[in-house]
Amino acid sequence: MLSLDQALEQAQVDPQLVSVVDSITITCKNIAERLRGGALSGLYGSAEQENIQGEVQKNLDVISNDLLKQVLLANRSVAGIASEEEEDVIAGNEEGQYLVTFDPLDGSSNIDVNVTVGTIFSILALPKDCTEVTADTFLQAGNKQIAAGYVLYGPSVILAITTGKGVAMYNLGADGVFYQTQDQVQVPTTTAEFAINISNQRFWQAPMQAYVNDLLLGEEGPLGKRFNMRWIASMVAEVHRILTRGGIFMYPYDSRDPSKAGKLRLMYEGNPMSFLIEQAGGAASNTLQPIMDVEPHHIHQRVPVILGSKEEVERINRYHKA
Ligand code: AHM
Ligand code: MG
């Protein structure tokens, strides 16, 4: 079986980039180990502090962030990092060629109830003319990503990764090596499964209300088929399901906090997941344009996220154009 390093070498991926991916996956193995310990690791519960997003951090949010930060900054290929849990970006090594953005533990409301969580990462190139790494250095549209992926901590530990030539999946083996289980993952074009936090319905804009109403009407509605629903409250698990069997995931704009364009963050969640989904033949939109075309103006900016099976994403875009 092909290991992650062998596969990246075969694909002639830049060795510096391979070393960045290795730093991420080594740390994710460490995070997986701690998650497996559960309450025995003494890591459940709140860290009793808020992150830059105004969310109360879990102990494991803080630990996962610290581990990734430490390992990535020690890597000579890393020019800088930006984390969902850190207010500012951190400059790395002078000879580094890559910038890494990450959500160290996505879906963290699921930690204490032992439901799947994950680490999401995106890798960008350091612009050639860059003399000093600042937040502005990271403000690159998603279509500039060099690589992106997630590590899912579920019944098994799975890595999904793209370097722009399709999506491959790897399972963490008992020997601590990630082995390839799938190459050229494809998201089915059509689907009859959707995921949305329907408790926010009253805050959505009219086109999203109309679309979800039509979904719920099933065979008797304008879409002419029954849709099933899933909501894990862990984007990594939802995207993994969609990469595996298709579907549509939505965290749309809502009016709860008009200063935020949505709940999910462009640089840590929207862009890397969109890169994976598009590389697997799906689509990702903020309802007005492809997510990866959105020009970022702030590292922590939010974005409405609609992603998954292509025909369904295109249908939602049409509801918003009508
Ligand atoms: P987090 O990065 O703070 O964990 O928040 C992101 C998560 C996503 O994984 C998930 O899709 C969403 O928040 C769930 O939100 P809700 O609590 O509204 O169901
Ligand atoms: Mg997150």
**pLDDT of 42:** 74
| Protein residue with least CA distance to atom 17, ligand 1 | 233
Cα of 234 from ligand 1 centre, angstroms: 6
pLDDT at 112: 85
Q: What does the DSSP assignment read for 17-35?
A: HHHHHHHHHHHHHHHHHHH
Contact 172, 32 (CB under 8 A): yes
Percent of the chain with pLDDT over 70: 96
Are 212 and 251 contained in the same domain? yes
What's the mean pLDDT in 140-148? 98
Mean pLDDT of 75-94: 97
- Last residue in a domain, options 130, 156, 182: 182
Question: With bands split at pLDDT 50, 70 and 90, how would you rate the model's confidence at 59?
Answer: confident
Q: Show the domain range for 254.
A: 193-321
Q: Which residues of 209-248 are buried (b: 16+ CB within 10 A; e: fewer)?
A: eebbebbeeeeeeebeeebeeeebbbbbbbbbbbbeebbb
Q: Mind listing the pLDDT tens digit for each residue in 293-310?
A: 999 999 999 999 999 999
**What does the alpha-carbon distance between residue 257 and residue 138 come to, in Å, rounded to a whole number?**
25
Report the chain's mean pLDDT, rounded to a whole number.
95
Overall domain count for the chain: 2
The helix or strand, by DSSP H or E, that contains position 84, with its residue range, turns out to be none
Average pLDDT over residues 3-27: 98
Residue nearest to atom 16 of ligand 1 (CA): 233
For residue 175, the CA-to-ligand 2 centroid distance in Å is 29
Give residue 48's pLDDT.
Answer: 66
Residue keyed to tokens 């610290």: 66
188 located within any domain = no
28 is a domain residue: yes
Residue with CA nearest ligand 1 atom 19: 233
pLDDT (mean) for 123-127 = 98
pLDDT at residue 283 is higher than 80: yes
Specify the residue with its C-alpha closest to ligand 1, atom 6.
107
* pTM for this entry: 0.96
- How much of the chain, in percent, has pLDDT values that exceed 90? 89
The Å distance, Cα 222 to ligand 1 centre, comes to 30
Clarify whether residues 143 and 234 are in a common domain: no
> Encoding tokens for residue 260?
């935020």
- Ligand 1 in contact with 197 (CB < 6 A)? yes
Q: According to the model, what pLDDT value does residue 67 have?
A: 97
Q: Are 107 and 228 within one domain?
A: no
Distance in angstroms (rounded) separating the CA atoms of residues 224 and 215: 9
Does residue 187 fall inside a structural domain?
A: no
